[in-house]
Structure 1
Amino acid sequence: MATGTKPIQLYSLATPNGQKIGIALEEFGLEYDAHLIDISKDVQFEDWFKKINPNSKIPALVDREPNGDDKQPISIFESGAILIYLADKTNKFLAPVGTRQRYETIEWLMWQMGGVGPMFGQANHFHKAAKEQIEYAKKRYLDESKRLLKVLDTQLGKTGSYVSGSDYTIADMAIFPWVAFFTKNYKDQLNDESYSNIDKWLNIIGERPQVKKGLKVCSKDA
């Protein structure tokens, strides 16, 4: 098991799912050690990693200095759960319990987890990785990805700069890497669609110094 000296240990890879947490740790200003998990070498299936994440996926995180009376280290898996945990730990980028703003942010975080991640991921698989060219699958997931982009574009047209309202939140951190990846790599397939609000949002989020740094965390090229 890879360990370091900082309070937080991140085990991840710079895929869109992993980049969420790299961005978050930079935005929250937390001290952390980053450990690259090479999923192409099946590191995620090793016993030490499965103790942190029994689902054998990245990202996963261990906080050796959690809040509260119980000072025992806590491990968190699932990127959405990690984002909520870090927001609650720092009281940043997520409104307090009981407020409308909190649940609107969580709505859009779950929208990313349940829709954008799976659909964009499947579209990418069938267009770029699948050994068989299955036209039905390629069209099915690309069409659903376009629909989700239109949902986001419409929402941003209502809210302005950020996904869940006037403030930058963990929802933006979660959605940004996926949309940045997909709109960059599927320009040809999206050239018949207009997502002007998304384009403005990508520029705003992408210019944040913490985002630029966070995207490179646990990168094989770093």
Structure 2
Amino acid sequence: MNPLSDFPITQKWPAQQPDRLQLYSLPTPNGVKVSIMLEETGLPYEPHLVSFETNDQLSPAFLSLNPNNKIPAIIDPNGPGGQPLTLWESGAILIYLAEKTGQFLPQDAAARYETLQWLMFQMGGVGPMFGQLGFFHKFAGAAYEDKRPRDRYVAESRRLLAVLNQRMTGRHWIMGEAYTIADIATWPWVRNLVGFYGAGDLVGFKDFPELTRVLAAFEARPAVQRGLTIPARS
């Protein structure tokens, strides 16, 4: 019996390999967190493109999996106890995959909580603030004559970059020598800020040399290079 057949989302996105973890996503900063993690761990999975251009995220099929209508989301047919597990929110998915595979989350309790601390720093600060800056700099908000909203997010993004730059001084990765889910969550957003959003000059990115160094190391990882393009856009 197909363990995924009871999930309505599989009617819109049929699983060709139902024994594999199913990823419903788009290559945005939040989306590629999970595809990069899956590529890094080597866990078999099947990606499905959720297109914003056709409002796939608002379809009844997608909402049946994630009522918050955001990507990414997953179904793991081999979840805890051998039962299918559905999960959304990229941070929660990263923690789940780290624990499932025993990778990229320290076993030592203190280091584990410190890693989760930096993951939450990304989830609660870096992602939302950089995203708002992108809206006011690149998208519809750029047309607003009043630049105070944009400048608010510029200042807060620059503050967050300074925090991260200080953390990276003398470190290879956020947790030091160990590459973790904190890195997988954070660096796609830094990349997006200076790349896709084109806000590097606006936030003075050149003032944060540690971030330039670590971002280059992140982008050089083969699993990152693959994950940044998954799911492939049509």
Q: Secondary structure at the match of 2:74?
A: strand
| Residue aligning to 1:4 | 16
Code of the aligned partner of 2:59: E
| Residue aligning to 2:39 | 26
Shift of 1:72: 1.9
Shift of 1:99: 1.1
| Residue aligning to 2:152 | 140
Q: Give the Cα–Cα distance (whole angstroms) in 2 for the partners of residues 66 and 107 of structure 1.
A: 25
More off after superposition, 131-140 vs 191-200: 191-200
Q: Give the Cα–Cα distance (whole angstroms) in 2 for the partners of residues 170 and 36 of structure 1.
A: 23
Matched, 1:203 2:216: yes
Shift of 1:165: 2.6
| Residue aligning to 1:119 | 129
Shift of 1:77: 0.1
More off after superposition, 125-134 vs 147-156: 125-134
Matched, 1:154 2:163: no
Shift of 1:166: 2.1
Code of the aligned partner of 1:92: Q
Matched, 1:92 2:87: no
What TM-score do the two structures reach when normalised by structure 2?
Answer: 0.88
Within-5 A mapping of 1:181-200: 181-184=192-195, 185-191=198-204, 193-200=206-213
What TM-score do the two structures reach when normalised by structure 1?
Answer: 0.93
Kindly report the root-mean-square deviation, in angstroms, between the aligned alpha carbons of the 2 structures.
1.5
Deviations 1:189-217 (A, max 9, x none): 13475111111101111111000000000
Q: Give the Cα–Cα distance (whole angstroms) in 1 for the partners of residues 61 and 205 of structure 2.
A: 47
Structure 2: runs of 5+ lacking an equivalent? 1-11
Query: Among residues 78, 82, 90, which one is paired with 1:65 in the alignment?
Result: 78
Within-5 A mapping of 1:71-86: 71-86=82-97
Q: Give the Cα–Cα distance (whole angstroms) in 2 for the partners of residues 41 and 78 of structure 1.
A: 21
Query: Among residues 56, 64, 67, which one is paired with 1:43 in the alignment?
Result: 56
Q: Secondary structure at the match of 1:41?
A: coil
- Length, aligned pairs only: 217
Q: Give the Cα–Cα distance (whole angstroms) in 1 for the partners of residues 48 and 205 of structure 2.
A: 40
Structure 1: runs of 5+ lacking an equivalent? none
Shift of 1:129: 1.4
Code of the aligned partner of 1:164: M
Q: Give the Cα–Cα distance (whole angstroms) in 2 for the partners of residues 157 and 35 of structure 1.
A: 38
Q: Secondary structure at the match of 1:167?
A: coil
Structure 2 contact 154–203 (Cα < 8 Å) conserved: no
Q: Give the Cα–Cα distance (whole angstroms) in 1 for the partners of residues 232 and 158 of structure 2.
A: 28
Q: Give the Cα–Cα distance (whole angstroms) in 2 for the partners of residues 211 and 143 of structure 1.
A: 29
